Amino acid sequence: MHRKFAQEISGESKYGLTLPQFFMLHLLRKKGPSKVTALAEQLEVKPSAITVMIDRLVQQGFAERQPDPNDRRVVLVGITPVGRQALEQVEARRKEIAARFFNRLKPEELEQMISLFEKMLKEND
């Protein structure tokens, strides 16, 4: 069940994306073209792990390597239009899945859940 849910929310079944690859595309969209080392720091992994993931995303057409306009020695990684489209479709699917789960709750259960989330996010006073 958990594996199937992870496949659905990452778009793995349709796009061949793993959950980490999905997060990488999300990060690339948010940050824009980035150095591999910066992406590795952000995801708290070694650059070698990121390189393998980026290689796969480039092969699938979801990401691209591009020269840094400020330093020819540096290569940046960016999301492609195909990657943006895949990410948008996966995010829409995630919203559908979340709605399906939340629709099972009664209004008072939703209120209780929201209250608990607010309590967890509240800064220590």
Domain boundaries, the chain: 2-121
Per-residue pLDDT at 72: 86
The pLDDT score that the predictor gives to residue 11 is 54
User: Residue 102: what pLDDT?
Assistant: 87
- The pLDDT value recorded for residue 19 is 83
Reduce the DSSP state of residue 80 to 3 states and report it: coil
Strands 34-35, 63-68: pairing is unpaired
Distance of CA 46 to the CA centre of its chain: 18
Q: Check: CATH 1.10.10.10 for 2-121? A: yes
What stretches in the chain show pLDDT beneath 70? 1-13, 123-125
Nearest CA-CA partner of 82 in 64, 60, 62: 62
Residues whose CB is less than 8 angstroms from the CB of residue 39 and which lie 6 or more positions away in sequence, other chains included: 24, 27, 28, 31, 50, 54, 77
pLDDT of residue 1: 47
pTM above threshold 0.85: no
